[in-house]
Amino acid sequence: MSVSPPEAARRGAQAPPPGPRRWLGLLVVVALTCGGVAYAVEQREDDARSRPPVTATPSAPPNQSNKPPSKTAAAIAARRLAVDTILLRRAKAVRTGNERLFLADVDPADTKLRQEQRTLFANLVDLRFAEIGYSQAEERFDQTVVREHGPSTYLVRVLMRYQIPKVDHDPVTTELGYTFVSRGGRWIITDDDDLDDELGPTAHREPWDLGRIEVRRGPRVLAIVEKGDTDRAEAIVAEANEALAQVAGYWPRRWRGSVLIAALDDTEVRDARFADEDVESAASAGSTFTSLPGQDTADGTVGGAYIVVNPKERDRIDEILLSHEITHVATADLGGYEPLWLAEGAAEYVSWRGIEAVSGPGEVAQWEQEVIDQALPGLSALPSDLGFYQSNADVYGVSWLAVRFLVRELGIRAVEELYEDLARHGTDQANRDRILLTRTGYTEATLWISLKAYRPQR
Ligand SMILES: [Zn+2]
């Protein structure tokens, strides 16, 4: 049986900054090689490049030259109260399953918006949030939106704080932009996408924002598919169960969380941008935040990660692909400061252990030799975060080889502890160097030299 080895890809994503890689997706890419063999290849994508500023700086809206018309303090306070009340009502409507209440503040003249909101409401109810709430962040101003909706227009960034049972260990936050207008002395929501381009990459692109969904649950899996795509949802749950067992079996961290997997029609879900890619990614694991970047700290705080599957690759979801992604999910909350070669190498390591269990050591040994013979000569150092995705070399294969080498030298437990330490404390290169040297006796330079000299025992 020919398995699809997880492997490397590259894409035009900007290299992440040396510290945290927050708005990231961890992608599994599928490319067809010239031999016609499907290789699952993968990549972590950094969206920092395209990330608009999300820092809560009310004094610095995008177009400062166009200030909103001045209002009296009393008018602003009254508006604030009215909008807060609407947001409270929306959350209560979801909690109590009351569609009429959810639609009560939506523009009665806008049939399309009302229909979309009906869909959103049904989705939110299906997710059975343990907690849901909306709050106003800062006002934004956009003259074109005012032209469209009139002088009372109030455009505001809204934080949605929620917790999906089992999936989100702690409540997490996502962003929205709502446009309110005052009509007949009453505030209503008249648009929900005017701010989308100025918010973070997951804003208004969560799986429940995009169309009517269906939710299927396993003991530690929540699959989200298009309404009616039930067979796929069930297949995902089954494959994810296998993959969870592999991650538990081959990665020592005792992670007992559940994984959310969205497999929808859309090519843009959360921070995944499958349509933009040169190489087709099969899936992506993108962070969730208990505190968004810029909210309390510049980096934000990662709560976990959700997996998003490329619509074109939905028929090829298997445990191998998912075990790679779930390794990312199972390490996401550690902090995200580990070097990419370690993050991707560890995910590849788990996937390959799964392949080894199915097909025996031969295939893995062959792949290892190919990486040594073909990939290593194309590099002159361990793959750095900078340029990881621009590299034409097989940085994923080399990362996997490095982790495999460390596991042979030190044992899997020591490698897992190294990972944890780096993920939590590898905030800059000096810290990374210190942690790596202390825990392994290697620097990145001497580890590279050892890899070059590595001749696996067969
Ligand atoms: Zn990955």
- Tell me how far the alpha carbon of residue 90 lies from the centroid of ligand 1, in angstroms: 37
- Is the same domain home to 98 and 234? no
Burial class (CB in 10 A: 0-12, 13-18, 19+), 123: buried
- Tell me how far the alpha carbon of residue 21 lies from the centroid of ligand 1, in angstroms: 13
Give residue 374's pLDDT.
Answer: 93
Is 133 a member of any domain?
A: yes
- Tell me how far the alpha carbon of residue 44 lies from the centroid of ligand 1, in angstroms: 5
Closest CA to 2 of 372, 394, 355, 314: 355
- Tell me how far the alpha carbon of residue 187 lies from the centroid of ligand 1, in angstroms: 45
- Is the same domain home to 227 and 186? no
DSSP reduced 3-state for 201: coil
pTM of the shown model: 0.85
- Tell me how far the alpha carbon of residue 331 lies from the centroid of ligand 1, in angstroms: 11
- Domain edge (last residue) among 199, 230, 262: 199
- Is the same domain home to 336 and 374? yes
CATH at 284: 1.10.390.10
- Domain edge (last residue) among 176, 199, 222: 199
Structure-block tokens of residue 318: 């298997």
- Determine the structural domain holding residue 166 and report its residue range: 73-199
- Tell me how far the alpha carbon of residue 2 lies from the centroid of ligand 1, in angstroms: 21
- Is the same domain home to 23 and 93? no
Is 458 a member of any domain?
A: no
- Tell me how far the alpha carbon of residue 329 lies from the centroid of ligand 1, in angstroms: 10
Give residue 2's pLDDT.
Answer: 33
- Tell me how far the alpha carbon of residue 285 lies from the centroid of ligand 1, in angstroms: 8
DSSP reduced 3-state for 349: helix
- Tell me how far the alpha carbon of residue 1 lies from the centroid of ligand 1, in angstroms: 24
- Tell me how far the alpha carbon of residue 287 lies from the centroid of ligand 1, in angstroms: 12
Give yes or no for a contact between 282 and 40, defined as CB atoms under 8 angstroms apart: yes
C-alpha span between 387 and 400 (Å, rounded) = 17
- Tell me how far the alpha carbon of residue 395 lies from the centroid of ligand 1, in angstroms: 11
- Tell me how far the alpha carbon of residue 92 lies from the centroid of ligand 1, in angstroms: 38
| Number of domains making up the chain | 2
Is 354 a member of any domain?
A: yes
Residue 180, C-beta contacts closer than 8 angstroms, at least 6 positions apart = 79, 83, 86, 153, 154, 155, 156, 187, 188, 189, 190
- Long-range CB contact pairs, 362-365, < 8 A, 24+: 363/3, 363/5, 365/456, 365/458
- Tell me how far the alpha carbon of residue 28 lies from the centroid of ligand 1, in angstroms: 6
- Tell me how far the alpha carbon of residue 157 lies from the centroid of ligand 1, in angstroms: 31
- Tell me how far the alpha carbon of residue 402 lies from the centroid of ligand 1, in angstroms: 15
- Domain edge (last residue) among 149, 178, 199: 199
Give residue 148's pLDDT.
Answer: 94
Is 349 a member of any domain?
A: yes
Is 376 a member of any domain?
A: yes
Give yes or no for a contact between 216 and 238, defined as CB atoms under 8 angstroms apart: no
- Tell me how far the alpha carbon of residue 143 lies from the centroid of ligand 1, in angstroms: 41
Is 415 a member of any domain?
A: yes
- Tell me how far the alpha carbon of residue 253 lies from the centroid of ligand 1, in angstroms: 17
- Is the same domain home to 90 and 174? yes
Closest CA to 251 of 85, 417, 120: 417
- Is the same domain home to 346 and 241? yes
- Is the same domain home to 29 and 103? no
C-alpha span between 180 and 387 (Å, rounded) = 43
Give yes or no for a contact between 48 and 312, defined as CB atoms under 8 angstroms apart: no
- Is the same domain home to 83 and 187? yes
Amino acid at 44: R
- Is the same domain home to 41 and 81? no
Per-position pLDDT tens, the chain of length 458: 333 334 332 222 333 333 333 334 444 433 322 222 222 223 333 332 333 333 333 334 444 445 667 789 999 999 999 999 999 999 999 999 999 999 999 999 999 999 999 999 999 999 999 999 999 999 999 999 999 999 999 999 999 999 999 999 999 999 999 999 999 999 999 999 999 999 999 999 999 999 999 999 999 999 999 999 999 999 999 999 999 999 999 999 999 999 999 999 999 999 988 887 666 678 999 999 999 999 999 889 999 999 999 999 999 999 999 999 999 999 999 999 999 999 999 999 999 999 999 889 899 999 999 999 999 998 999 999 988 867 778 999 999 999 999 999 999 999 999 999 999 999 999 999 999 999 999 999 999 999 999 988 77
- Tell me how far the alpha carbon of residue 323 lies from the centroid of ligand 1, in angstroms: 10
- Is the same domain home to 423 and 402? yes
- Tell me how far the alpha carbon of residue 65 lies from the centroid of ligand 1, in angstroms: 42
- Tell me how far the alpha carbon of residue 81 lies from the centroid of ligand 1, in angstroms: 44
CATH at 148: 3.10.450.50
- Tell me how far the alpha carbon of residue 27 lies from the centroid of ligand 1, in angstroms: 5
Give residue 30's pLDDT.
Answer: 36
Ion ligand 1: residues, CB within 5 A, are 26, 42, 344, 347
Is 68 a member of any domain?
A: no
C-alpha span between 257 and 218 (Å, rounded) = 12
| Alpha helix stretches (DSSP H) within 189-275 | 230-250
- Tell me how far the alpha carbon of residue 379 lies from the centroid of ligand 1, in angstroms: 20
- Is the same domain home to 36 and 140? no
- Tell me how far the alpha carbon of residue 203 lies from the centroid of ligand 1, in angstroms: 22
Is 59 a member of any domain?
A: no
- Is the same domain home to 394 and 271? yes
Structure-block tokens of residue 164: 């999906």
- Tell me how far the alpha carbon of residue 25 lies from the centroid of ligand 1, in angstroms: 8
